[in-house]
Amino acid sequence: MKFSTARATLVVLAPVLSLAKGKKLDSVSFQADIKTDKSSSATNHYMCTAQLTITGLMLNLKVLNDISFDSGSNRALGSPGYSASVDYTYKRASEVKEAKAWKRYFSVISASVDYVSLKVEDKPIHIHGLTYSPSTSVEGITAEIALGLEGAAGCDASSYRGLDVKGKGTLPRTLDSARHPCYLV
């Protein structure tokens, strides 16, 4: 989804910018400035010379969105898109001369999908395994499958209330980057 990283960007940039003068960032003023595309004197006090505007925010989000698309629509932890996003955010935060910016490195234990397949009546179905999904045994799982709902509703458990899906694997329908129907397992 385009520009879905607004909250993540604010979480990353706001603390760095707010540390510039050692003052706490006032959330109400900060959010009001984003909504009005103006920088109040109160927010400027917290953010030094950095100016927060909708235009500036959207430009940063566009760059992060471009990084995602250039990285196979992926900015997830451990991916090249993640590294490029960290580098961009660090560069932008470092431009605030009164702020001290640094990168914190940490270890992450994660899983990746090496192989995933699905056949219904011996016909393969194009699917994507989710990266942080738990692994199954080599034998796999045999279960009845129910076609999931389309779009965001397919990923919301409350959307399935009243439907005959208990004990079944559901496959929410989505579109992959090539615009072919595919299913998330």
Give residue 131's pLDDT band: very low, low, confident or very high (50, 70, 90): low
Q: Hey, how many other C-beta atoms are within 10 angstroms of the C-beta on 37?
A: 13
Closest by CA to 12, choosing from 135, 99, 123, is 99
Q: How far apart are CA 37 and CA 52, in angstroms?
A: 8
What predicted TM-score, i.e. pTM, was given to this entire model? Answer: 0.42
Task: Assess if residue 101 is contained within a domain.
Answer: no
Task: Assess if residue 114 is contained within a domain.
Answer: no
Domain that holds residue 26: 6-94
Q: Give the residue with greater pLDDT, 80 vs 135.
A: 80
Give the amino acid at 86: V
Closest by CA to 35, choosing from 10, 67, 5, 66, is 10
Task: Assess if residue 104 is contained within a domain.
Answer: no
Across the chain, mean pLDDT equals 71
Task: Assess if residue 137 is contained within a domain.
Answer: yes
Distances (CA, A) of 14 to 29, 87, 129: 12, 16, 34
Same domain, residue pair 134 and 80:
no
pLDDT in tens, 75-124: 888 788 899 999 999 998 888 877 788 998 887 766 666 777 777 788 88
Give residue 6's pLDDT band: very low, low, confident or very high (50, 70, 90): very low
